[in-house]
Amino acid sequence: MIEVEHLTKYYGSFLAVDDISFTIEDGHVYGFLGPNGAGKSTTMNIITGCLSATAGRVRIDGHDIYEEPDKAKRLIGYLPEHPPLYLNESPREYLRFVGEAKGLRGEELQRQIAEVVEKTGIAAVQNRRIAALSKGYRQRVGIAQALLGNPRVIILDEPTVGLDPLQIIEIRDLIRELGKTHTVIFSSHILSEVQAICDEILMIAKGRLAAFDTPENLEKELLARNELRLTTDAAPGELRALLAGVEAADTLTVESETPYTVASVRTKGADIYALSRAVFLAFAGSGHVLLELSLKKGTLEDVFIELTETPGKPGAPEAEEKEG
Ligand code: ADP
Ligand code: MG
């Protein structure tokens, strides 16, 4: 549905999007996850044809966004980070204006307005001034205008930013609902939000695509980093000797020695339970006991932090300065 190839964007000499490529399939909810400044809005603005790229290409259902902008843009509904809402108008007037700009007229326009008003739950406020609406309702109006013209893809840039917790839940539910009938791409800097709503996560860090997979697979990849934490009455030397016979045990880190030894053990292999079992059996009959044994699993949060905090990647401002 959307093919992005080697997308690159410089603002002056600053590299904001660094050679990003990915393909978006029909009928899923995709989350663009990344901290502020990662390049999410820049990427979305380019995909939707609102901003030119320095290099690379974007095709929407085969239509190049620069070569066939009309055909490509018709397939996309976009809620930018700062939507241009007309505060003195009512949602209804605003939707009519946007609908006409999208080429809708007469009965079809009226029908579609009624439909998006219903879908986004703004019927009760459709004749009030937009200025008088809460941020949550304004965001719904923004989503409603994106839905006009019945585009196949809906792109929402940080739709939950600035909302209160209840409004956030409502907008998330709305995104899920839209995901049943549209391909949805939305951006967020909140991991749990993306994890809760998306089928696929695109992690963006410093202008690069750092990971692209399902939340489940991203979690699974982490199993390789698994670690056991144990507390034992064996002294560190004794523990070392005990674990020497455990093949799956890779590195041993002693965290404290008194009153008991607290240590973590990592495994090279992917199976944390095999390590756990081997450690348990090594203790059995050794004369020492395991007072505590726990699995320290990696979380998506860990990967996210790791990916977004790695310094010195190309695209970092300091790398740019040297070149320019
Ligand atoms: P995100 O949406 O992930 O927060 P953006 O795409 O808005 O990231 O910005 C990516 C980087 O590009 C940031 O470092 C930002 O400061 C910079 N940037 C964004 N827009 C401009 C602009 N118009 N001119 C110069 N730099 C910009
Ligand atoms: Mg942004």
Spatial CA neighbour of 232 closest among 247, 242, 221, 218 = 242
Nearest-atom number in ligand 1 for the CA of 207 is 10
| Per-residue model confidence (pLDDT) at position 176 | 94
Q: How many residues does the chain have?
A: 324
Confidence of residue 314 (pLDDT cuts 50, 70, 90): very low
> For the residues 282-305, what does the mean pLDDT come to?
82
Write the residue with the smallest CA distance to atom 21 of ligand 1.
11
Give the predicted TM-score (pTM) of the model. Answer: 0.78
d(CA 212, CA 23): 10
pLDDT in tens, 60-98: 999 999 999 999 999 999 999 988 888 899 999 999 999
Q: Name the 3-class secondary structure at 210.
A: strand
Pairing state of beta strands 153-156 and 208-213?
unpaired
Report which residue type is found at 54. Answer: T
pLDDT of 260-281, one tens digit each?
A: 999 999 887 667 888 889 999 9
| pLDDT on residue 10 | 98
- The neighbour count for residue 72, using CB atoms within 10 Å, is 22
Least confident among 24-28, 85-89, 221-225, 248-252: 221-225
Atom 25 in ligand 1: residue holding the nearest Cα: 11
Ligand nearest to the CA of 12: 1
**Separation between Cα atoms, residue 17 and residue 266, nearest integer Å:** 36
What is the Å distance from ligand 1's center to 274 Cα? 46
Predicted local distance difference test score (pLDDT) of residue 15: 97
pLDDT tens-digit series, residues 113-156? 999 999 999 999 999 999 999 999 999 999 999 999 999 999 99
Q: What confidence score (pLDDT) does residue 307 get?
A: 67
Concatenating the DSSP letter of every residue in 178-202 gives: HHTTSEEEEEES-HHHHHHH-SEEE
**Token couple for 211:** 């990971």
Point out the ligand 1 atom lying closest to the alpha carbon of residue 32: 3
Proximal ligand: closest to the CA of 34: 1
Neighbours of ion ligand 2 (CB under 5 A): 40-41, 81
CA of 17 to the centre of ligand 1 (A): 9
Alpha carbon of 41 to ligand 2 centroid (Å): 4
**Which ligand approaches the C-alpha of residue 320 most closely?**
1
Split at pLDDT 50, 70, 90, the class of 297 is low
Which atom number of ligand 1 is nearest to the Cα of residue 158? 2
Weakest mean pLDDT among 88-92, 198-202, 203-207, 224-228? 224-228
pLDDT of residue 86: 83
| Angle in degrees, 0-180, between the axes of helices 106-120 and 135-147, rounded to the nearest 10 | 140
**Which residue puts its alpha carbon closest to atom 24 of ligand 1?**
11
List strand residue ranges (DSSP E) for 12-113, in order: 14-24, 29-33, 55-60, 63-64, 76-79
The alpha carbon of 39 and the centre of ligand 1 are apart by a number of angstroms equal to 6
Q: Which atom of ligand 1 is nearest to the CA of 17?
A: 10
Using a 6 Å cutoff on CB, does residue 40 contact ligand 1? yes
Q: Which ligand neighbours the alpha carbon of 11 most closely?
A: 1
Helix (H) / strand (E) element for 73: namely: helix 69-74
Q: Is the CB of 261 under 6 A from ligand 1?
A: no
The answer to whether the CB of 317 is under 6 A from ligand 1 is no
- Tokens representing residue 9 in the block: 């964007």
